[in-house]
Chain A
Amino acid sequence: MTTPTAVALEDAKVAFRLGDGRVYTAVEKAHLSVAQGEFVAIVGPTGCGKSTLLNVAAGLLKPAAGSVKIFDQPLAGLNRDAGYLFQADALFPWKTALDNVAIGLEIQGAPRAEALPRAQKWLTSVGLGAFANRYPHMLSGGQRKRVALAQVLIRDPKILLMDEPFGPLDAQTRQVMGNLLLDLWNADRKAVLFVTHDLEEAIALADRVVIMSAGPSSRIIGDWRVTLPRPRDIFEVRLDKEFHALHREIWSVLKDEVMKGYAQSTQAVEAV
């Protein structure tokens, strides 16, 4: 018996045309699949095209070659099964926290009277029940991420795509957010594709850690299974022996790529 595949990238290649007419290949022949209920983290050095790969899975970018399948169906246009959590602030600044969360339901046609109580419930479950009437600029970075998480989850997407969602936050807030994410994820185990440059975060959260080589033309160069027991607590899991062994093993591969990545990023054109 096999679990259905939520996201499958088959030999996906992503290329951009640069301003001067040259073609920049960001990702070469990426082969990656995420099973239903699986939490996969993509880790790679800066500029390796991991966000690019995520955008391909979201349908925001079209691969130059290869194919993208969502639940075995070829992806055309935007990925309607996916919720996307962005690295930068993506909340609507002119809507209150409550309206920002409710909008996900309203655009599906839910009446406002029905959307608002559900949005309030989601705000409460991300710990912001008392902040419903605040506008994004009145919230801290971590609080905005919580609202964004609620905004995505209220639509109950089958797949969660996350692009370094906790990147801009400070170290403690990241861990708190990581635990919150795991708690929410544990409730219904969506397929998750989580991009990060933080290897520790990746191991602590994911079932599988995928490593990409330094760009340009980066490839997937490693795929580790994380067998740490669930439910996990991010603060605790970092003290685990298995965690350290895995971290050492993956880091030995990742380190070279990070060095290459830095060397290249000082000369190559950054294409994001």
Chain B
Amino acid sequence: MSRVTLLALQVLVAVVCLVLWQFFASVPVFGKILLPPFFFSNPVDVFSQIVKWFSSGVIWKHLGITLTESILAFVIGSAGGVLIGFWFARQPLVAAVFDPYVKMANALPRVVLAPIFALWLGLGIWSKVALGVTLVFFIVFFNVYQGVKEVSRTVLDNGRMLGMSERQLMRHVYWPSALSWMFSSLHTSVGFAVVGAVVGEYLGSAAGLGYLIQQAEGIFDVAGVFAGMFVLSAFVILIDFGVTLVERRLLVWRPTVDGRG
């Protein structure tokens, strides 16, 4: 199938859904409107809400806040995950001692931490960043840990026989191996950074996409809720696209990525 046909079909799906939605929300079927506007709004209202946000410019502030929180959560969570993951992998005793606690912390549904973070860090961006960090950290941590542990024995011996010191092994063998594992989970960890930010905003904040959705919901503005959701989806898709670009550049050496060096 050519790209054009594929794109046409993809667009068709959206159009059909939107038309059906608009139809059932405005035209009575057997004397009854199947999608009451109070609960379901309609595409035209949602779209005009989105246009209003963008034309008035209010949305940029919220997008900016959510983006900042996501990036901070991703950077801090990744840095922590890499450091601790490395440390644990190289110190089996430490890893063994902390193992049950790591499992326990990871098993905890992170949403319950949101109130605590709000209490500790206030309603500004940092409580959202903290929530995102707890999500990102574990993904990166487990991947880096695995990456360092599963370095091929032969590659490691080869490094030794080539005369690498412990530090050089770190730099030329362990580090690239760990990074490749981390990057392979890049989509997941970036996604979780956004989830942390938005959920945090939803549960208590004064700005951001989550706040926007929560506000709209508070006044039964269903069009606003849907509009927020659409903007959020587009936002996440854009970020994901960016991640794909980064990944293609960084993982050229991997057989699974269809780029070439």
Contacts and interface: CB of A to CB of B under 8 A. Distances in A.
Contacts of B152: 88-90
A86 B157 contact: yes
Interface residues of B, number: 24
B161 A78 contact: yes
A92 B152 CA distance: 10
B154 A107 contact: no
From DSSP, what is the main secondary structure of chain A's interface residues? Answer: loop
A196 B58 CA distance: 73
Interface string A126-170: 000000011111100000000000011001000000000000000
A83 B261 CA distance: 28
Given A96-B261, A138-B261, A84 B158 contact: yes
Interface string A64-88: 0000000000000011101110101
Contacts of A83: 161
Nearest to A94: B176
A84 B253 contact: no
Interface in B156-209: 157-165, 168, 172-173, 176-177, 180
A83 B187 CA distance: 41
Contacts of A95: 172, 253
A107 B168 contact: yes
B245 interface: no
Nearest to B179: A94
Contacts of A152: 162
A89 B162 contact: no
Chain A interface residue number, banded? 20 to 34
B205 to A, nearest CB: 41
B166 to A, nearest CB: 12
A93 interface: yes
B3 interface: no
B255 A137 contact: yes
Contacts of B154: 86, 88-90
Contacts of B61: none
Among A80, A103, A133, A151, max chain B CB count under 10 A is at A103
A82 B154 CA distance: 16
B155 interface: yes
Contacts of A259: none
A83 B157 CA distance: 11
A137 B254 CA distance: 7
A135 B261 contact: yes
A60 interface: yes
B252 interface: yes
Contacts of A108: 163
Contacts of A136: 253
A34 interface: no
A58 interface: yes
A253 B209 CA distance: 80
Given A135-B252, A135-B261, A137-B254, A92 B155 contact: yes
B260 interface: yes
A49 to B, nearest CB: 17
Given A80-B163, A108-B163, A137-B253, A103 B172 contact: yes
A93 B154 CA distance: 12
Interface of B: 152, 154-155, 157-165, 168, 172-173, 176-177, 180, 252-255, 260-261
Given A60-B161, A92-B159, 19 more contacts: A60-B157, A60-B160, A79-B161, A83-B161, A86-B154, A88-B152, A89-B154, A89-B155, A90-B155, A91-B155, A91-B158, A92-B155, A93-B253, A107-B164, A108-B163, A136-B253, A137-B253, A137-B255, A138-B261
Listed from nearest, the 7 A-B pairs whose CB atoms lie closest are A90-B158, A84-B161, A135-B253, A137-B255, A94-B176, A88-B154, A90-B154
